[in-house]
Amino acid sequence: MSIEIDRLKAGHKGDNGGSAVSREDGLENAGSERGQAFRSLEEIATALERGETTSVALTEYFLNRIATFNTQLHAYSETFADACLRQAAACDAIRHSGQTIGPLHGIPVAVKDIFDIAGLPTSAGSTALHDRVPEQSAFAVQRLIQAGMVVIGRTHMVEFAFGGWGTNPVMGAPRNPWDPSQHRVAGGSSSGSAVSVAAGLAPVALGTDTGGSVRTPAVWCGVIGLKTSHGLIGRGGVVPLCGTHDSVGWFSRTVRDSALLLNVLQGADPRDAANARVAEIDALAEIEHGIANMKIGRLVDADLAGVDPDILRLHDEALEDLEALGATIAPIHLPLSIADYLKSGGDIMSYESFRALGQYVEAESSPVDPTIRGRIMAGKSITDDAYRQTLQRRLEAQAEFADRIADYDALVMPGSHIVARTLTDVDESVPPNFYGRVVNFLDLAAVAAPTGLTSEGMPAGIQIVVRKFDDALALRIARALEKHRGGLVHVPAGY
């Protein structure tokens, strides 16, 4: 199934970025209107299978929600109203003929504006990248369409994905839906994708993660976020930032939904060398098997210095729940300090981003935001020798960590050390998340899972970190916690 895109800039038509379509009750047989926006992929798939709704009705419904909320939230940079409705109608026709493509057939999905879509410019959150008009869509987008999903629109992000706060002075910063009184950031760089799922503007959304770019927004917006193993999901057609660390990820409302996407998005991507000869995994095969007799690590107290007390309390409660489910919790020492991961990971990102994006920032007249420009330009002064030394140190740290975690199944650490800040309180010179770059630097996979609300009424969360290609195990642990708690993701007021 091909995708043709008629672009509708979010915020232009009806001031809210979606066409105000005629039927707002397209899911009339599936519960209250508010509940319809926050159903899981599995619940939506069941409604489609039973004939309680159609793909066209679903698509119209989410377009209307975008039209209602996007001016406030700034989650979408553009929607594809006419094209996605045609695609949805084609899905319905296939279903009417008695066929389906798979479990996600006919369900809408949002995509971060770093993934190519054939024939359309990819902005990557910048006005500088005007010359990227691809002939083919990104591998991940192709896989979504092959699975029968309906690409409803593209989401805002930090410029060139080089930032964790979720700000973007050039294109505008998405607003965290959990604070109705003031503009709090959503986390970056996949900010709009996290907001779209948290506020019920899409059931699921694609993002990328180079140093926490899925996990920080997931934790700050209170949804599930999966940072996949480097190489597991092909990155062909993704605007590069740092090839050593870049990985595809996504946001969902349940752990099983994340596993469904993982199964769909795997495959051989000839445009990504890191994906060569990577064996596919079945994320659902053992997801309900529980965690009895597992050994799960927790950080030593020194590595938890500076964590907000509320976040640490919720983190410890989650560990207690995992222990109650049969896991043994024991401390584990990271091979480097938190400051080392931030510095060394940042150096690799700057060096590689300058080689990938330097042409867009070197000129004084560059339209790139000065903060992002500075991060990329910093890579120009990093010598090849210094870069190689950092990569060698990374390999040594990975080997040491492998030894330390040899007797463990996973490691739990805070999803972030702070809650989402107001836009006016953001200081771009300090890290938004002490625990973002650790996972990329050590070449691991991780699930970000909500742990509840702090005294400020803002979401907090943990990361369940596993060895490379143990993504299914991370989901299994998160699923056990989700079942124990009767769900992890909740709905912010007003949506």
- Extents of the domains making up the chain: 1-495
> How far is the C-alpha of 470 from the C-alpha of 115, rounded, in Å?
25
206 and 193 Cβ atoms separated by less than 8 Å: yes
Residues in the chain: 495
Residues 436 and 195: beta-carbon distance below 8 Å:
no
Amino acid 33: pLDDT: 54
Token pair, residue 86, equals: 């045609």
Instruction: Tell which residue, 453, 451, 448, 491, has the closest CA to residue 190.
Output: 448
Who's near 423: CB < 8 A, 6+ residues apart?
167, 173, 183, 184, 185
Nearest to 408 by CA among 265, 277, 293: 293
- The pairs formed by 397-401 with CB atoms below 8 angstroms and a separation of 24 or more are 397/335, 397/336, 397/441, 397/442, 398/442, 398/443, 400/335, 401/334, 401/335, 401/442
Distance (Å) of CA 301 to CA 4, 238, 298, 315: 53, 38, 9, 13
Query: What is the structure's pLDDT at 18?
Result: 35
Q: Which is the catalytic residue, given 189, 229, 247, 252?
A: 189
pTM of the model: 0.94
Q: What is the full per-residue pLDDT of the chain (495 aa) written as tens digits?
A: 344 444 444 543 333 333 333 323 333 333 345 578 999 999 999 999 999 999 999 999 999 999 999 999 999 999 999 999 999 999 999 999 998 889 999 999 999 999 999 999 999 999 999 888 999 999 999 999 999 999 999 999 999 999 999 999 999 999 999 999 999 999 999 999 999 999 999 999 999 999 999 999 999 999 999 999 999 999 999 999 999 999 999 999 999 999 999 999 999 999 999 999 999 999 999 999 999 999 999 999 999 999 999 999 999 999 999 999 999 999 999 999 999 999 999 999 999 999 999 999 999 999 999 999 999 999 999 999 999 999 999 999 999 999 999 999 999 999 999 999 999 999 999 999 999 999 999 999 999 999 999 999 999 999 999 999 999 999 999 999 999 999 999 999 999
Residue 32's region, left for phi above 0, alpha for psi from -120 to 50, else beta, is beta
- Torsion, Cα 229 234 239 240, to 10 degrees, reads 50
* Cα gap 465→437, rounded to integer Å: 12
Give phi and psi for 209, each to the nearest 5.
-140, 115
State how far the Cα of 158 lies from the Cα of 24, in Å rounded to an integer. Answer: 32
The residue to which tokens 């896989």 are assigned: 143
Tell the CATH topology of 1-495.
Answer: Amidase signature (AS) enzymes (3.90.1300)
Alpha carbons 248 and 240: distance in angstroms, whole number: 11
* Per annotation, catalytic residue among 55, 112, 191, 416: 112
* pLDDT at site 34: 57
Question: 471-485 and 309-324 helices cross at what angle (nearest 10)?
Answer: 90
Beta strands in 285-434 (DSSP E): 295-299, 328-332, 410-414
What single string gives the DSSP state of each residue in 205-271?
EEEEESSSTTHHHHHHHTSEEEEPPTTTS--TTB--S-TTT-EEEEEESSHHHHHHHHHHH-S--TT
> How confident is the model at residue 22, as a pLDDT?
31
- Is 213 an annotated catalytic residue? yes
Instruction: Tell me how far apart the alpha carbons of residues 328 and 312 are, in angstroms, rounded to a whole number.
Output: 19
Query: Amino acid letter at 305?
Result: A
Torsion, CA 383, CA 389, CA 390, CA 393, rounded to 10: 180
**pLDDT for position 75:** 98
* Biggest alpha carbon–alpha carbon distance for the chain: 63
Local structure of residue 289 (DSSP, 8 states)? S
Place of tokens 């709905």: 491
Q: Which two tokens stand for residue 161?
A: 């994905």
Count of alpha carbons within 13 Å of 158, Cβ hemisphere only? 32
Residue 8: what pLDDT?
44
Q: Which of 126, 213, 229, 366 is catalytic?
A: 213
Q: With contact defined as beta carbons under 8 Å apart, do 289 and 295 qualify?
A: no
Instruction: Give me the pLDDT at residue 28, please.
Output: 33
Q: Which residue has the tokens 């047989």?
A: 29
pLDDT on residue 13: 34
